A = this chain, B = another copy of it.
């Protein structure tokens, strides 16, 4: 059955499972690289396969603007258009509308905004977002929501009420979850009572999965972890839980420990383009002269294509000269690092040793001596 979610083992609040989708099974916890414009930046589908990617995120807002969902539908959906035949998740467009565009009007009905590309007037509503996501054809689609800055209670509360009404309308627009599963998004910023209210309301709608939205948008790491502490226990244990936009290695450890199953984050590919590498000892900023003549790989013992063939000195040279191969090699390494990290946590959950793994990982990664 599509979208069956099996939990194979738990370790404390953490869970190791399998989420079945029409395009394949996703072992959870899982990190999804972000393919904003129907491509994970610098990586091809065969690279994603080599990296053992099992879920890719694409952005409804960007694809709506270019090339437009009609064209992608004409190509039988995103999987065929972008040549990625594994599971795909699309967001609703809400986050980008509120963060990238000049808003002309926001009301309970929807949002009118100007395209960040050509300034043209566009409109998104819950119904339009669902319609676009149905045309794109991702396996997992998301409710249209309003994601406000997390600390202003009045704004967060208003956005929450609107998001709840929009969730009902999204569900009405997409009642059948057999081909595409529609996930609800819990908002509420950093406010415990609002998170509780949102979790209660949305869980009452019985979505096939739930996301925690409105984090990784400016709060501190401690605020983020606290929000997880009081939100996750209010979410159903038998459904997948998706923490949107989170993917720093330490945050993944904290969130998986607390019971999150799905993640997406642009950080690994974005910092690659700025010349930074993720390693067990923290981030390496390769433009730093310290790496100029280092013959070791980015991470010793790493099995990615970059670390198997190239020195830090060479990758630094590519970063300094802004060569495309530098973006590629660092993207390969960083996505590999995150996927391996999440896979190791999954193995640790299955083996009942998650605490040991995360303690040891965090001590080294955060350089806590």
Contact = CB atoms under 8 A, between A and B. Distances in A.
Nearest to A43: B325
B74 A321 contact: no
The bracket for how many chain A residues form the interface is 35 or more
Given A39-B318, A45-B309, A71 B324 contact: no
Nearest to A37: B321
A63 to B, nearest CB: 9
Interface string A306-318: 0001110110111
Count this chain's copies in the assembly. Answer: 2
Nearest to A311: B75
A44 B83 contact: no
A71 B328 contact: no
Contacts of A329: 44
Nearest to A318: B39
Interface string A295-334: 1000000000100011101101110110111111100000
Contacts of A83: 309-310, 314
A43 to B, nearest CB: 7
A82 to B, nearest CB: 7
Interface in A1-52: 37-46
Contact of A305 (B37, B43, B44): B44
Contact of A41 (B40, B305, B309, B323): B323
Given A67-B313, A314-B81, A314-B83, A324 B45 contact: no
A317 B66 contact: yes
B42 A317 contact: no
A293 interface: yes
A74 B39 contact: no
A67 B317 contact: yes
B323 A82 contact: no
A324 B38 CA distance: 12
A325 B82 CA distance: 11
Given A75-B295, A293-B71, A41 B325 contact: yes
Contacts of A66: 317, 320-321
Contacts of A43: 325
A67 to B, nearest CB: 5
A39 B323 contact: yes
Contacts of A74: 293
Chain B CB within 10 Å, residue with most, of A44, A310, A326: A44
Contacts of A38: 314, 317
A125 to B, nearest CB: 25
A320 B63 CA distance: 12
A174 interface: no
Contacts of A42: 324-325, 328
27 contacts: A37-B321, A37-B323, A39-B318, A39-B324, A39-B325, A41-B323, A41-B324, A41-B325, A42-B324, A42-B328, A43-B325, A44-B325, A44-B328, A44-B329, A66-B317, A66-B320, A67-B292, A67-B313, A71-B313, A75-B295, A75-B313, A81-B311, A81-B314, A82-B314, A83-B310, A83-B314, A328-B328
